[in-house]
């Protein structure tokens, strides 16, 4: 299991640990790990050009100490100090002792000066001051921008877990220069400008190739949009003694393998669970077929279909138990999936919600389900909206959900007293309490018509097999994401192909 802890927890555990260790130990551990990761990325340290973006906190201190280590190995290291008077004093001294130079300017200074390598040069002026621009004209690059442009590696130590809101203008200009540069960019602890706890990005932020994070992953590193800014994430152990329950957790192969239902010698189809699919309509029979396709791969012993698309379902999957009596009279099931392609059939949704078994609500069902009825249910409920559906349920714009996925999924879980799976490139599964699960196996090729229907059938089948809602949702998202990758293999893919590839995902996980 990959876990992530929020800033408050990191700070508290850090305080406990620091009380037992000589001062500066944790920062040295962090800087050592950062220097190793930097050297790995550079390949050859000697002769390389490294630029440090240094803010006023300990995040800048990490960058300075790591820069000192690289300078001792022969790199040319320049630190751009955003707030020279407040930069980490010990880190500055270490860098200078190691032969590194510092430039005292947020984003300014004459570009010509950048090539002179003057140490501790106060550049003065501001980037917007034409007098500080090179002769090339007012639109020419600043000294800082030239240094960044010519670097092999940029270390982003502007701000870490102490960051508040979007980057300030001086810092934002450095972030933009780093993005334009061909240099590799390593974010120290997290990309400056992203929110460590939520994954929100307010305005400009560092776009990193690699993020070297200390002690634990931070939730923002695993959730879009911030995840997209972090690049590859490398965790450096600094010895933090973290509490048992994380803020966020991500299943890995071994976790999924443990959770997958496996039939024993005594199992028959009823003991393995029957999943009922109440989906599809005369207008959308395909949704029923795809939900059944997903359900057949989810581990339930049988799939019961109820609705107007029985012929289409049987034509594709003759093993399906088809009924046209409606959910209440269709026979026993251990879980229901309701909603895909349901159109305006509110009566079916209401009937399913009355059943005393776990219910998965998707697509049209989300719109048709009465909130108080869902809240009052005693059996499990798993809701599976995409961002647009979640936005409609919350009464906000879609962009708001996409920008703040974690708070959106938590809010929905609280409002409906249900487990909610918010689909997307980083799918989130939140129950009313406990760690939120994040899934990262998805691929953007999965954003294809009918792919959600397959997921709902798959998750519903896992519910029927006895998995709790959080596990059913996160295991389904994991397998579905893998299946999408296998089916797509870098090319567009249809939902049916995804359903077919689920079996391969199971085998892979169990191996
Ligand atoms: N925890 C641990 O176990 C360990 C932590 N370690 C490291 O310490 C880091 C945390 O250091 P930290 O607490 O000093 O805060 P940090 O992130 O440097 O930022 C604070 C400064 O940034 C500024 N600032 C704020 N917002 C800003 C913005 N939007 N745009 C621009 N500037 C902004 C703010 O300025 P102010 O508001 O005061 O003007 C303040 O001065 C952590 O991420 C990790 O790298 C490791 O060394 C080892 C173990
Ligand atoms: K940073």
Which domains are present in the chain? 2-133+140-242 (3.40.50.10260), 265-510 (3.40.1190.20)
Quick one: which ligand is closest to 17's CA?
Answer: 1
Helix (H, G, I), strand (E, B) or coil at 104: strand
pLDDT at 296: 96
Write down the number of H helices and E strands in the chain. 20, 19
Query: What is the C-alpha to C-alpha distance for residues 317 and 338, in angstroms, rounded to an integer?
Result: 19
Query: What is the C-alpha to C-alpha distance for residues 125 and 146, in angstroms, rounded to an integer?
Result: 16
pLDDT at 132: 38
pLDDT at 444: 82
Query: What is the C-alpha to C-alpha distance for residues 429 and 493, in angstroms, rounded to an integer?
Result: 25
Kindly tell me the sign of the dihedral angle through the C-alpha atoms of 111, 112, 114, 119: negative
pLDDT at 112: 44
Query: Which atom of ligand 1 is least distant from the CA of 18?
Result: 3
Q: What is the DSSP letter of 195?
A: -
423 belongs to an annotated ligand binding site: yes
Surrounding residues of ion ligand 2, Cβ less than 5 A: 156, 160, 187-188, 192
Query: Which of 407, 380, 368 has its CA nearest to residue 391?
Result: 407
Helix (H, G, I), strand (E, B) or coil at 215: coil
Query: What is the C-alpha to C-alpha distance for residues 399 and 408, in angstroms, rounded to an integer?
Result: 11
- Ranges under pLDDT 50 in the chain: 107-110, 112-119, 121-137
pLDDT at 107: 45
Residues with CB under 6 A from ligand 1: 10-11, 14, 26-27, 30, 55-60, 62, 158-168, 171, 188-189, 214-215, 238
Nearby residues of 78 by Cβ (< 8 Å), 6 or more positions away: 49, 50, 51, 52, 100, 101, 102, 103, 117, 147
pLDDT at 158: 98
- Ligand 1 centroid from CA 89, angstroms: 14
pLDDT at 111: 52
Beta partners for 77? 50
Query: What is the C-alpha to C-alpha distance for residues 193 and 207, in angstroms, rounded to an integer?
Result: 9
- Ligand 1 centroid from CA 117, angstroms: 28
Mutate to test the pocket of ligand 1, among 7, 163, 217 (most ligand atoms within 8 A of CB): 163
With beta carbons less than 8 A apart as the criterion, state whether 103 and 147 touch: yes
**Residues across the chain:** 511
Q: What are phi and psi of 243, to 5 degrees?
A: -70, 170
- Please count the CA atoms within 13 angstroms of the CA of 150 that sit on its side-chain side: 15
pLDDT at 129: 34
């Amino acid at each position: 299991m990959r876990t992530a802890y929020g800033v408050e927890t990191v700070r508290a555990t850090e305080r406990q640990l620091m009380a037992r260790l000589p001062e500066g130990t944790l920062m040295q551990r962090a800087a050592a790990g950062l220097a190793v990761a930097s050297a790995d990325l550079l390949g050859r340290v000697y002769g390389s050009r490294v630029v440090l973006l240094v803010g006023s906190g300990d995040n800048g201190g990490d960058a300075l100490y790591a820069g000192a280590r690289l300078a001792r190995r022969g790199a040319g290291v320049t630190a751009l100090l955003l707030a020279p008077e407040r930069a980490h004093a010990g880190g500055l001294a270490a860098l200078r002792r190691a032969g590194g130079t510092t430039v005292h300017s947020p984003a300014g200074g004459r570009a010509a000066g950048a090539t002179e390598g003057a140490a501790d040069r106060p550049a003065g002026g501001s980037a917007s001051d034409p007098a500080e621009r090179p002769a090339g004209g007012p639109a020419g690059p600043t000294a800082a921008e030239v240094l960044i442009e010519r670097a092999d590696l940029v270390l982003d130590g502007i701000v870490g877990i102490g960051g508040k809101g979007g980057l300030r203008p001086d810092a934002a200009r450095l972030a933009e220069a780093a993005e334009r540069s061909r240099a590799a960019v390593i974010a120290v602890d997290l990309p400056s400008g992203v929110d460590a706890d939520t994954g929100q990005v307010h305005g400009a932020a560092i776009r990193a190739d690699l993020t070297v994070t200390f002690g634990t992953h931070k939730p923002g590193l695993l959730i879009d949009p911030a995840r997209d800014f972090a690049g590859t994430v490398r965790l450096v152990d600094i010895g933090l003694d973290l509490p048992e329950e994380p803020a966020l957790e991500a299943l890995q192969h071994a976790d999924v393998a443990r959770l997958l239902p496996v039939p024993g010698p005594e199992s028959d189809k009823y003991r393995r669970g029957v999943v009922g699919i109440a989906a599809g309509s005369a207008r959308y029979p395909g949704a029923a077929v795809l939900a059944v396709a997903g359900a057949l791969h989810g581990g339930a012993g049988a799939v019961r279909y109820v609705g107007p698309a029985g012929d289409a379902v049987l034509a594709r999957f003759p093993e399906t138990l088809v009924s046209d009596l409606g959910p209440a009279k269709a026979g026993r099931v251990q879980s229901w999936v309701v909603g895909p392609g349901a159109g305006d059939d509110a009566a079916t949704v209401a009937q399913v919600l009355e059943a005393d078994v776990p219910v998965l609500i998707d697509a049209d069902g989300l719109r048709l389900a009465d909130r108080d009825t869902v809240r009052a249910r005693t059996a499990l409920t798993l809701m599976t909206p995409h961002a647009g559906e979640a936005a409609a349920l919350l009464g906000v714009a879609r962009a708001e959900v996409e920008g703040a996925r974690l708070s959106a999924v938590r809010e929905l879980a609280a409002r409906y007293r249900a487990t909610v799976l918010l689909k997307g490139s980083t799918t989130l599964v939140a129950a009313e309490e406990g760690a939120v699960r994040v899934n990262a196996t998805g691929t953007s090729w999965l954003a294809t018509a009918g792919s959600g229907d397959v997921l709902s059938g798959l998750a519903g089948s896992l519910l029927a097999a006895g998995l709790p809602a959080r596990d059913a949702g996160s295991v389904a998202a994991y397998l579905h994401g893998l299946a999408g990758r296998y089916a797509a293999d870098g090319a567009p893919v249809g939902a049916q192909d995804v359903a077919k590839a689920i079996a391969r995902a199971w085998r892979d996980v169990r191996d």
